[in-house]
Homo-oligomer: A and B are copies of this chain.
Amino acid sequence: MQKENYSIAIHGGAGTILRNEMTAEKELAYKEALTAAILAGENILKQRGTALDAVEAAIISLENNPLFNAGKGAVFTHDETHEMDASIMRGDNLMAGAVAGIKNIKNPIQLSRKVMENSEHVMLCGEGAATFAKKMGFEFTPDSYFYTEQRHAQWQNAVAENKIALDHNIKTDEKKFGTVGAVALDMHGNLAAGTSTGGMTNKQFGRVGDSPIIGAGTYANNAQCAISCTGHGEFFIKAVVAYDVFCLMEYKQLSLEEACRIVVKEKLVKIGGEGGLIAVDKFGNISLCFNSDGMYRASVAMHQELLVAIYKD
């Protein structure tokens, strides 16, 4: 019989995160935030709670922290609002829930769980998702809650650049993907994964990235592993990243580490897809894999010390 175990990993986004652009104060704030989030999840696992609850708790902690581009601190859309996406999946029965383009929901990950548990659907979008949220008794949080000075300044820069660039596509802030996510294995042997994001600064046209797409940004299956991605979403969708990691393990018997390395450091690099992912397999092995300069990340397991890291080396 397998030794009793639990594991949890989280990310707070990947991208161009350089040591020389970071202050000691800012670095400390990120590390504190990551530590708080992973401990919120670990605390549940320690008490024999479920991977699903641990994933949700860790993501709520990250959503509530303005440092990350999810929940409070979500970036501004072109129309100066906040549109968020989230998804969650459990590995025991492959149930999943996702929301895209939702506004004024404090914790999108909670809404995605409600979709999974209280609707017959997997994915709800826009106005319709809001109607469902109302029906489920969710409070609508005012715009002011989501406002942060830093995100507003980023948005103003992006809008200004857009004007100068005469409608060319925005590049600002593309190089930092602040999506958050969590994956966990609980003591009952169940896996779960979740992802939550505010999307891209100044985004238009109801753009949906990989975060709410089961198979692309999020996937969990007790047969092998649980995965949550962060990066340039369009590439992650086309590469079906999360499910590809699963398939390399399931069909080619690769280890978690090898599967993640091939997908992130070979296949994604080849098509120009910057970003990374966190993953945990059914044995509790953890992979924190990215091809960008950094990824806000943390992990801990029953038999493994807490790791909190930002940069590549």
Contact = CB atoms under 8 A, between A and B. Distances in A.
Interface of A: 89, 94-96, 100-101, 119-129, 131-132, 169, 204-209, 213-216, 219, 233-234, 237-240, 243-244, 247-248, 251-252, 271
Contact of A238 (B122, B205, B206): B122
Contacts of A216: 214-215
Contact of A206 (B94, B127, B248): B127
Given A128-B204, A251-B251, 15 more contacts: A95-B238, A96-B238, A121-B205, A121-B234, A125-B125, A125-B207, A132-B204, A213-B215, A214-B216, A214-B238, A219-B240, A240-B243, A243-B243, A243-B244, A251-B252
A95 B239 CA distance: 10
A121 B214 contact: no
Nearest to A206: B128
Across the A-B interface, the 3 shortest Cβ-Cβ residue pairs = A128-B206, A251-B251, A247-B247
B96 A237 contact: yes
A104 to B, nearest CB: 15
Nearest to A241: B215
Contacts of A126: 101, 125-127, 206
Find the residue from A122, A132, A209, A252 having the highest chain B CB count within 10 A: A122
A129 B209 CA distance: 14
A208 B120 contact: no
Contacts of A205: 119, 121, 124, 128-129, 131-132
Contacts of A131: 204-206
13 contacts: A89-B238, A94-B239, A100-B100, A100-B125, A121-B207, A123-B237, A125-B206, A129-B205, A214-B238, A215-B240, A243-B247, A244-B247, A247-B247
A12 to B, nearest CB: 23
Nearest to A132: B205
B243 A215 contact: yes
A8 to B, nearest CB: 23
Nearest to A232: B120
A123 B208 contact: yes
